[in-house]
Amino acid sequence: MPIKKKTKKLEPQDKKLIEEIIRVDHAGEHGATQIYRGQLAIFNENTEFGKEIKEMAEQEEIHKSTFDELIVKEDVKPTIMFPIWNIAGYALGVGTALLGKKAAMACTVAVEEVIGQHYEEQAEELKKRKINPQLLKTVKKFREDELEHHDTGVEHQAEMTTGYILLSKTIKQLCYTAIKISKKY
Ligand SMILES: [Fe+2]
Ligand SMILES: [Fe+2]
């Protein structure tokens, strides 16, 4: 089948932005599925709590597949840190789950706060440059999902976790670092 030609030739800086968005979101969504995979290795997915985690995990799977498709379609090189983020995500999921339900949800709250903000910034930039409306739509939709996950975490008393502030700060810092590296490399 012939490959469909893209209609508009992008400016180099716009092409770079789109590549960065796809590379970092691809890594992030894989990381997210790994976090939940780790948590579901600890929590029984047939319990009320496990089902909540599973529901978020299933949405992350959709996000992940979307960026799996986009990375191929737009011919973007995945981040070189990809295997590391996958291991780190899984470890973070297992680690927080071992600390308990509230800590597991605190992980979601911290991650989604960063990711929600991150998607928002991407959406703003795409809107400003008036490029790739399809990607803009995706980013906006996923942002809504992430904010729902965030709220689910808060509803589960994530903020009542012992050592919440430190845990949250550490996880957020990890996310910022992962984003910074994965955009470029
Ligand atoms: Fe996601
Ligand atoms: Fe999420």
What pLDDT score was predicted for residue 148? 95
pLDDT the model gives residue 146: 95
Q: Where are the beta strands (DSSP E) in 27-96?
A: none
What CATH number does residue 18 fall under?
Answer: 1.20.1260
In a domain, 6, yes or no: no
The answer to whether residue 174 scores a pLDDT higher than 60 is yes
| pTM recorded for the entire structure | 0.89
Q: Say how many Å lie between the CA of residue 61 and the centre of ligand 1.
A: 8
Helix (H), strand (E) at residue 101: helix 101-129
In one-letter notation, the amino acid at residue 164 is Y
CA of 170 to the centre of ligand 1 (A): 20
Q: Which ligand is nearest to the CA of 150?
A: 2
Distance 145 CA to ligand 2 centre (A): 6
Structure confidence at residue 160 as a pLDDT band (50, 70, 90): confident
The mean pLDDT of the chain is 93
Q: Which ligand is nearest to the CA of 36?
A: 2
Does residue 111 contact residue 35 with C-beta atoms inside 8 Å? yes
Distance between Cα 66 and ligand 1 center (Å):
10
Residue 7 resides in a domain = no
pLDDT, tens digit, 9 for 90 and up, residues 106-151: 999 999 999 999 999 999 999 999 999 999 999 999 999 999 999 9
- Ligand 1 geometric centre to CA of 172 (Å): 15
Q: How far is the CA of 84 from the centre of ligand 2 (A)?
A: 19
Mean pLDDT, to the nearest integer, of 49-76?
Answer: 96
Cα–ligand 2 centroid distance for 17 (angstroms): 22
Residue 43: its pLDDT value, please? 96
- Domain extent for 28: 12-184
CA distance 77 to 75: 7
Within 10 A of 7 (CB to CB), how many other CB atoms are there? Answer: 5
Give the pLDDT of residue 75. 93
3-state secondary structure at position 43? coil
CA of 174 to the centre of ligand 2 (A): 16
* Structural domain includes residue 100: yes
Give 40 Cα–ligand 2 centroid separation in angstroms: 15
CA of 31 to the centre of ligand 2 (A): 10
Query: Has residue 2 got a pLDDT over 70?
Result: no
pLDDT at 5: 52
**Domain for residue 5, yes or no?**
no
Total of domains in the chain: 1
Please, which residues have CB within 8 angstroms of residue 59's CB and are 6 or more apart in sequence? 145, 149
